[in-house]
């Protein structure tokens, strides 16, 4: 893939808030996740765990992502992938402590980016959802009380009339410098 093709993928990937309700097949969700899990991480610690929810159980996940008028569209998503914190390794933990950096948060963000881009390449729309009830989510996913779930990615198929929007990004002069 050359840079122009990558740019096209990045421009095409957008937060979908108009899913058509169709389910994303489990096999496809698995494939997207397996590609995303090729993402890099500090000391290759891979401090993550992805929990996918397909089928009717996805309705329970949607309910954990809504409230105060937020994320109503999640009801029409075709699958969800919870991006969870997993076990790190000693090198990454020590390195992070010595450098005052939380590598895990970085790693989970990078994984999430890989996930939504892989989904787009597979013809699946997505939206990263940080507005969530983590406690309720843990109960629905049946995971331990302390497992952190910083975001959930909604996957699905965009409605036919949902256009690809132009990207709204800060001007390059504000966000990029060459010294
Ligand atoms: C960590 C994170 C949390 C987000 N949470 C939500 C959310 O709860 N609901 C929502 O509609 N969009 C959410 N978004 C999507 C952003 O609003 C969106 O990425 C941003 O406006 C840029 O638009 P684009 O993704 O279409 O390029 C989230 C994005 C990130 C990275």
Q: Which strands make up the sheet holding 79-85, listed edge to edge?
A: 48-53, 79-85, 151-156, 125-129
Q: What is the mean predicted confidence (pLDDT) over 1-30?
A: 98
* Virtual torsion, Cα 116, 111, 133, 130, nearest 10 deg: -60
Distance CA 30, CA 79 (A): 11
Question: How buried is residue 32: exposed, middle or buried, by Cβ count under 10 Å (0-12/13-18/19+)?
Answer: buried
Q: Round to whole Å and give the CA distance between 18 and 158.
A: 6
**Average pLDDT for the chain:** 96
Contacts of 38-41 with CB under 8 Å at 24 or more apart are: 38/114, 39/107, 39/110, 39/111, 39/113, 39/114, 40/110, 41/92, 41/103, 41/107, 41/110, 41/111
Of 64, 71, 81, which is closest to residue 124 (Cα–Cα)?
81
- Percent of the chain surpassing pLDDT 70: 100
Mutate to test the pocket of ligand 1, among 130, 134, 170 (most ligand atoms within 8 A of CB): 130
Q: Whose CA is nearest to atom 9 of ligand 1?
A: 129
Ligand 1 binding pocket mutation candidate from 61, 127, 152, 154 (most atoms within 8 A of CB):
127
Atom of ligand 1 nearest to the CA of 112: 31
> CB count, 10 Å around CB of 44?
10
Separation of CA 179 and ligand 1 centre (Å): 31
CA of 114 to the centre of ligand 1 (A): 15
Nearest to 153 by CA among 3, 48, 45: 48
- pLDDT tens figures, 29-81: 999 999 999 999 999 999 999 999 999 999 999 999 999 999 999 999 999 99
In the chain, what are the domains? Answer: 3-160 (3.40.109.10)
pLDDT category, 102, cuts 50, 70, 90?
confident
C-alpha of residue 93 to centroid of ligand 1, in Å? 28
**Confidence category of residue 20, pLDDT binned at 50, 70, 90:** very high
Reported as a single tens digit per residue, the pLDDT across 70-89 is 999 999 999 999 999 988 88
Given a contact cutoff of 8 angstroms between Cβ atoms, the answer to whether 5 and 62 are in contact is no
Note the residue count of the chain.
179
- Ligand 1: lining residues by beta carbon, under 6 Å: 14-15, 17, 71, 127-131, 151, 167
Interval between CA 91 and ligand 1 midpoint (Å): 32
């Amino acid at each position: 893939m050359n840079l122009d093709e990558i740019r096209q993928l990045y421009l095409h990937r957008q937060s979908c808030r108009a899913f058509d309700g169709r389910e994303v097949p489990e096999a496809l969700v698995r494939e997207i996740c397996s590609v995303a899990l090729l993402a890099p991480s500090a000391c290759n610690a891979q401090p993550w765990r992805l929990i996918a929810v397909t089928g009717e159980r996805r309705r329970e996940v949607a309910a954990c992502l809504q409230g105060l008028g937020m994320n109503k569209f999640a009801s029409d998503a075709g699958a969800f992938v919870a991006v969870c914190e997993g076990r790190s390794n000693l090198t990454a933990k020590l390195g992070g402590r010595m450098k005052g950096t939380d590598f895990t948060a970085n790693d989970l963000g990078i994984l999430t980016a890989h996930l939504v881009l892989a989904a787009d390449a597979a013809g699946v729309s997505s939206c990263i959802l940080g507005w969530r009830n983590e406690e309720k989510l843990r109960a629905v996913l049946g995971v331990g009380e302390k497992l952190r779930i910083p975001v959930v990615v909604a996957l699905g198929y965009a409605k036919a009339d949902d256009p690809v929007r132009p990207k709204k990004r800060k001007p390059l002069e504000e966000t990029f410098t060459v010294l």
